[in-house]
Amino acid sequence: MKIFLKVLVAAALTTASTSCSSFLDINDNPNSPTAVAPNAILAQALSVTAANYTGNNPSYNSYGSWAAGYWGKSGVVNGYTEERTYNYSTLYYQGLWSNTYDNLNDYNLIQQQADAYPNHAAIARIMKVFNFQLLVDEYGDIPYTEALQAAGNTLPKYDNAATIYRDFIVQLDGAIADINTAAAAADALAVGSEDIVFSGDMTKWKQFANSLKLRVLLRESQTNDAALNTYVATQMATLQNAPDGFITTDVVAQPGYNQNTSQQNPFYNRYGFTAAGTGATERLYQIPTNYIIAQYVSNNDPRITQLYTVGARTTGTDPNTVTTPGYIGTDLGERSPPSFVAPVVASRFLPNGTFLKGPNAPTVLMLLANHLFSKAEAETRGLFTGNNTAAKTDYLNGIKASFLFTYRTATTPVIALADATASTPGSSAYDTYIAANTANPLVNYDLAPSAGTLGKQSVIIYQQYLASNTVASIEAWCAYRRTAQPKLPASLESTSPRPDKLATRLLYPQTEVSTNQANIPTGITQFTKIFWDVVD
């Protein structure tokens, strides 16, 4: 018996030992890469940021559109309870948190290879600020210094929102310096077509960084914190004369959107039409509020023709039916909001209009109009030099930039204001608007009321509110919380205890509650304010 066993074991062991290591070394993943170079990450990271900002499910834009009073619920859908009551749960828009951090991780991975890819890393550094600011503005204190460390720290602590804001400026200055250093190095790898925003033009990235600095500083400029105010004033003074200046066009991302599944402009895909041309699921779910419609109609604002379809109201019965066309919206929280069948046909996003330019339209990262309104605000408030003279120029340019954006088609390239001519779509409508409102203090800068050190901040924010509608709604929502302008109405079903009956922020998401509860700041409700939100 023994001899047989010995033979058997020996035979088995021989076969095993001769081939074992290679027999088991078959674990190289044939399906997915386990390492990728920064230039193969950048485009995706930028398009995801743009999609999170404007049209993904969820997006900052859609959250802002409900919160800032642009959108109401149509009659064809149930739900939107949280939008109507401000009775948020930890699940409400929780994807913003995880999607943004997920996106930040990709930028962080690019940054980790800064030695070989200095320009890519600098872009990543700027975009990290862009994304972290979105998070701070909706959540306040967030993981920042201990964030993005992968398995190195799975329970990242939360940093103070104001402290994070200070670091944004450091990072943006750093990124500009990095770009300058890379430009001086002959062997620094250039950025190519993977830059779907500026096609590798690093000067434009520096301008974008400066405009972002202005956004950051202005947002924290209205607190009662003297030290912070001094800091902002100092930073602003330097910023105004920054070597590369500010953005001169709308900043958009265009990876090559086209009418194909997963390749359409994200807002168009979610709220417009599918790649097959059928209506998207959410196309009929939201309609404009009566409030936003009134801002266009009562000020003879031609932009509304580019935004919404014309609805209709039918009165009387057969055969004395009278149908009156018009822009028909809703009051958020209204019991029976209009749907799209007679006798009340609601307005909705206009196909091929501003919001649904087309499946191939680029996505917005920063509207030139918003930048110019920020600049005008800094000027009228004395944070930048130039006073109301400069402010008025930037204010009017801001309105004009909004008109050019509103009327621009999906495929027309973005242009600087200086390059616009009388035949550029939107130019003549802008002239009409200004001409029709010479006596209107909501349009005419000179007639707009001035409020002490805030100057004509109110009318600037008002015009910014119109420019941001459904495109960069989150900016209007931030501006509202900072300045309490304009006086937008809350939902009729509001349960908010605040004087304005609105909410102020999102709750920390359920995913964070279940994974990092010990670090989450306590005592937070949806009515707690972000540090820069002081004015009510």
Partner 1 sequence: MKRLLLLLNLLFLTALLQQAVAQDRSISGQVTDRANGQGLPGVTVLVKGTTIGASTNAEGNYVISVPTSATTLSFSSIGYLAVERPIGNASNISVALATDAKQLGEVVVTGALGIQRQQQQVGYATATLNTEEITQARPTNVVNGLTSKVSGLQIQTLGSGINPSVRVTLRGNRSLTGNNEALIVVDGIISTNDVLVALNPDDIASISVLKGANAAALYGSQAANGALIITTRKGSTTPKVTFSQTSQFESISFLPKFQGEFGPGANTYTSTLPPFSPDNSVDSNYEYQYQGFENQQYGPRFDGSLRPFGERLANGEVQMLTYESRLNEKRKFFNAAYQAQNSVTFSGGDEKTKFYTSFQNVHNNGIVPKDKYDRNNFRFNASRELGRLTVGFNVSYAQQRIDQTSNLDQASSIYWNIFNTTAMAPITSYKNWQTDQYANPNGYYNAYYYNPYFIIDTYRTNDRRNTLLGNVDLSYKVNDWLNFNYRIGTTNINQSSIATQNKFSFNSFVQGGNTNKGGNGLPGYVQDLSSSVSRINSDLFASMDKTFGDFSVQAIVGNNVQQLDSRFNYVASTALATPDLFNLGNRIGNLTGSDAQAKTRLYAFYGDLTLGYKGFLYLHGSGRNDNISILDQNNRSFFYPGVDASFIFSNAIPALKEVSFLDYGKIRGGITKVSQVNLGNLTGTGVYQTGGAYSLNSTYSLGSGYPFGSLASFTANNTLVQQGLLPEDTRSIEAGIELSFLQRRVSGAFSYYSQRSNNQTINTSISSATGYSSLLLNAGEVQNQGVEVDLNLIPVRLNNGLTFTVGGNFNYNNNKVISLPGGLPQLALSTGGNAQLYAIPGQPFPILQGTYYQRTDAGQIKMTQTTDPFTGEPRYFPLKAADTKILGNTQPKYKYGFNSSITYKGITLSGQGELRTGYVVYNTIGENLDFAGSGQRSVTYGRQDFVYPNSAISTDGGQTYVPNTAGLTPGGSEFWASSAYNTSVAENYVTSGKFFKIRELSLGYVLPASMVSKIGFVKGASLNVFGRNIWTWVPKENIYTDPEFNFSNSNAIGINTNLQTPPTKFYGATLTATF
When the beta carbons of 124 and 476 are compared against partner 1, the nearer one is 124
316 φ/ψ angles, rounded to the nearest 5 degrees: 75, 170
Of 68, 126, 188, 345, the one binding partner 1 by CB under 8 A: 345
Three-state SS across 102-168?
HHHHHHHHHHCCCCCCHHHHHHHHHHHHHHHHHHHHHHCCEECCCCCCHHHCCCCCEECHHHHHHHH
Q: Specify which residues 252 forms β-bridges with.
A: 364
- 237 contributes a contact to partner 1 by CB under 8 A: no
Cβ distance to partner 1 smaller for residue 40 or 294: 40
10 binds partner 1 (CB under 8 A): no
For 247, which DSSP code? Answer: -
Does 40 sit near partner 1 (CB under 8 A)?
yes
Q: Which stretch binds partner 1 (CB under 8 A): 40-48, 300-308, 377-385, 414-422?
A: 40-48
Question: Would you say 180 or 511 has its CB closer to partner 1?
Answer: 511
Contact pattern for partner 1 over residues 129 through 168, marking x by CB under 8 A: -------------xx--xxxxxx-xxxx------------
**Strand, coil or helix: what is 412?**
coil
**Helices and strands, number each (H, E), in the chain:** 18, 10
CA neighbor of 441 nearest in space, from 236, 249, 298, 272: 298
Neighbours of 258 (CB within 10 A): 12
Alpha-helical (H) ranges within 241-289 are: 266-271
Question: Whole-number minimum distance, CB 362 to partner 1, in Å?
Answer: 12
Exactly one of 26, 227, 418, 435 binds partner 1 (CB under 8 A); that residue is 26
Q: Any contact of residue 17 with partner 1 (CB under 8 A)?
A: no
Looking at residues 245 to 264 of the shown chain, list those that interact with partner 1 (rule: CB under 8 A): 255-263
Of 257 and 384, nearer to partner 1 (C-beta) is: 257
Q: Using CB under 8 A, which of 81, 180, 432, 496 touches partner 1?
A: 81
* Among residues 224, 421, 453, 514, the one that binds partner 1 under rule CB under 8 A: 514
Residue type, 204: K
Q: Is 415 helix (H, G, I), strand (E, B) or coil?
A: coil
Query: Does the footprint of partner 1 cover residue 47 (CB under 8 A)?
Result: yes
182, 188 contact by CB (below 8 A): yes
Instruction: Map residues 468-487 to x or -, x wherever contact with partner 1 holds by CB under 8 A.
Output: --------------------
DSSP string, 190-235: PP-TT-TTTTT-HHHHHHHHHHHHHHHHHHTTTSS-HHHHHHHHHH
Question: If we measure between CA atoms, which residue out of 276, 233, 298, 269 comes closest to residue 433?
Answer: 298
- The full DSSP string for 300-318 is T-TTHHHHB--EEEEES-T
List the interface residues with partner 1, window 426-465 (CB under 8 A).
none
Q: Six-digit token pair at 313?
A: 């109201």
Closest distance to partner 1 from the beta carbon of 154 (Å): 4
79, 243, 319, 499: residue in contact with partner 1 (rule CB under 8 A): 79
The smaller minimum CB distance to partner 1, of residues 73 and 400, is found at 73
Are 456 and 449 within 8 A, CB to CB?
yes
Nearest Cα to Cα of residue 366 among 11, 34, 61: 61
User: Which of 300, 496, 511, 528 touches partner 1 by CB under 8 A?
Assistant: 511
Task: Give φ, ψ of 330 to 5 degrees.
Answer: -145, 160
| Chain length of the chain | 536
Please give the Cα distance from 250 to 46 (Å, whole number). 15
The reply to whether 106 sits near partner 1 by the rule CB under 8 A is yes
361 or 448: whose CB is closer to partner 1?
Answer: 361
Closest CB 312 distance from partner 1, rounded Å: 10
496 binds partner 1 (CB under 8 A): no
Q: How far is the CB of 276 from partner 1 (least distance, A)?
A: 3
Binding mask 177-216 for partner 1 (x = CB under 8 A): ----------------xx-x--------------------
Nearest to partner 1 of 275, 417 (CB atom): 275
**With respect to partner 1, which residue has the nearer C-beta, 109 or 214?**
109
Q: Are 509 and 91 in contact (CB under 8 A)?
A: yes
Please choose, out of 201-209, 220-228, 272-280, 349-357, the segment that lies near partner 1 by the rule CB under 8 A: 272-280
**Part in contact with partner 1 (CB under 8 A); list of ranges 60-68, 174-182, 240-248, 515-523:** 515-523
- CB burial of 19-43 (b: ≥16 within 10 Å; e: otherwise) equals eeeeeeeeeeeeeeeeeebbbebbb
User: How many residues line the site for partner 1 (CB under 8 A)?
Assistant: 96
Q: Nearer to partner 1 by C-beta: 193 or 438?
A: 193
Spatial CA neighbour of 328 closest among 309, 354, 341: 309
Q: How far is CA 261 from the centre of its chain?
A: 23
Q: Which of residues 305-344 bind partner 1 (CB under 8 A)?
A: 335-336, 338-344
Distance CA 394, CA 389 (A): 9
Residue list 349-408, contact with partner 1 (CB under 8 A): none
Question: What is the rounded CA–CA span in Å between residue 366 and residue 236?
Answer: 19
Could you tell me which residues come within 8 angstroms of residue 256 by beta carbon, excluding any fewer than 6 positions away? 196, 263
Which residue, 136 or 401, is less far from partner 1 as judged by CB? 136
- Binding partner 1 (rule: CB under 8 A), the pick from 57, 105, 229, 432 is 105
Q: In which element (H, E) is residue 377 found?
A: helix 368-380
Taking the complex as a whole, the smallest distance from the CB of residue 70 to partner 1 amounts, in Å, to 21
Identify whether the C-beta of residue 531 lies closer than 8 Å to the C-beta of residue 108. Answer: no
Q: Which stretch binds partner 1 (CB under 8 A): 22-30, 64-72, 112-120, 241-249?
A: 22-30
CB of 519 to partner 1, least distance (A): 8
Nearer to partner 1, 282 or 500 (CB): 282
